[in-house]
Amino acid sequence: MKLVMIDLDHTDKQDWMKEAARSVMAIGYFDGVHKGHQTVIQHAIDEANKRGVESAVMTFFPHPKEVLGNPEKPMRYLTPFETKIDRMKALGVDRIYAVRFTPSFSKLTPEQFVDDFIVSLQVEHVVAGFDFTYGVKGAGTMGQLGTYAKDRFTYTIIEKVTDEEEKISSTRIREELEQGDVQKASALLGYAYKVKGEVVHGDARGRLLGFPTANVATSERFHIPKTGVYVVAFYVQGKKWTGMANVGYKPTFVDNLPEPSVEVNLFHFSEDIYGEMVEVEFLEWIRAEQKFNGIDEIKAQLGRDRETSLQWLEKHAQ
């Protein structure tokens, strides 16, 4: 898989034209690379195979809202940039054009976008969702693409992909995560939702309580699920373990923690993994985070959480 980075402000058009190859290209932001996105990308792969050309994806970073909307806090993603690229690579595309979304890029007319980012890249056929827009303020629609194509390429519009008669969307998946319904979110994604990060030193309270935890500092701006306790799978050094995780602000011990922490108590595990990059896969939400009155109350609840988690894992063992 070839990754081509394009930055309108710092890359000459001739440079990215040199990287071009005849292709069928799927275009979209693709946060989550969920089932709807997979349908678009797979159609591009299938069409490329029919034509005997490369399959390609064009995606963008960061999110346009970060550049144009000036959000109060940095946005969080279902698949931050590196994770999104990995997901697309796993689908089997031949090349990815990653375009930096900048104020300059946002001001391109629909015609300029088509000429510079489709035609110049030797794209024979475009595949995109029905609601994909391009050009300044999203002025270009898929219904207008034929006008701008001027017979230089063909295209396919993918209609909405639904689940329970509702469109599968990144927004909908974020809402499910915010409700703690990680199973529904994973069903819409087509894979179990994970975050990645490094195991860092914490305050060691878990060890004192008899429930040592791996404190995971997320490596990118992942969308963190609803606060509470979860059954999780944990991937480290190429191996899978199971455990329970607390996502939250540790109200018993800390006031005003700025961001939720992710702490994982692993079952049947006692290795030193400080500094390791790991993945935490959310399987089921157990209960809300709560403030306790003392150590004994915490230990008793953690014991119940462990038993609940083990029962869930046994019931869902494959």
Given a contact cutoff of 8 angstroms between Cβ atoms, the answer to whether 260 and 251 are in contact is no
Phi, psi for residue 222 in degrees, rounded to 5: -75, 150
pLDDT at 65: 87
* Structure tokens, 150: 């001027």
Partner residues linked to 141 by β-bridges: 133
CA distance 7 to 4: 10
**CB within 8 A of 39, min separation 6: which ones?**
158, 161
- Provide the H-helix boundaries in the chain: 13-18, 35-51, 64, 81-91, 103-106, 110-117, 145-149, 170-178, 182-189, 205-209, 295-315
Q: Which domains does the chain show, CATH number per domain? A: 2-163 (3.40.50.620), 192-315 (2.40.30.30)
Query: pLDDT tens for residues 9-66?
Result: 888 888 878 889 999 999 999 999 999 999 999 999 999 999 999 999 999 999 888 8
Q: Model-level pTM?
A: 0.91
CA distance 130 to 160: 7
CA distance 130 to 159: 5
* Structure tokens, 267: 């079952």
Q: What's the DSSP call for residue 68?
A: I
The amino acid that residue 283 corresponds to is: L
Given a contact cutoff of 8 angstroms between Cβ atoms, the answer to whether 53 and 6 are in contact is no
Partner residues linked to 58 by β-bridges: 27, 97
pLDDT at 112: 96
User: Which of 122, 128, 153 lies closest to 141, judged by CA?
Assistant: 128
pLDDT at 5: 94
Query: pLDDT 10s digit of each residue in the chain, 318 long?
Result: 999 999 988 888 888 788 899 999 999 999 999 999 999 999 999 999 999 999 999 999 998 888 888 777 788 999 999 999 999 999 999 999 999 999 999 999 999 999 999 999 999 999 999 999 999 999 999 999 999 999 999 999 999 999 988 999 999 999 999 999 999 999 999 999 999 999 988 765 555 566 888 999 998 999 999 999 999 999 999 999 999 999 987 644 444 555 788 999 999 888 888 999 999 999 999 999 888 877 888 889 999 999 999 999 999 986
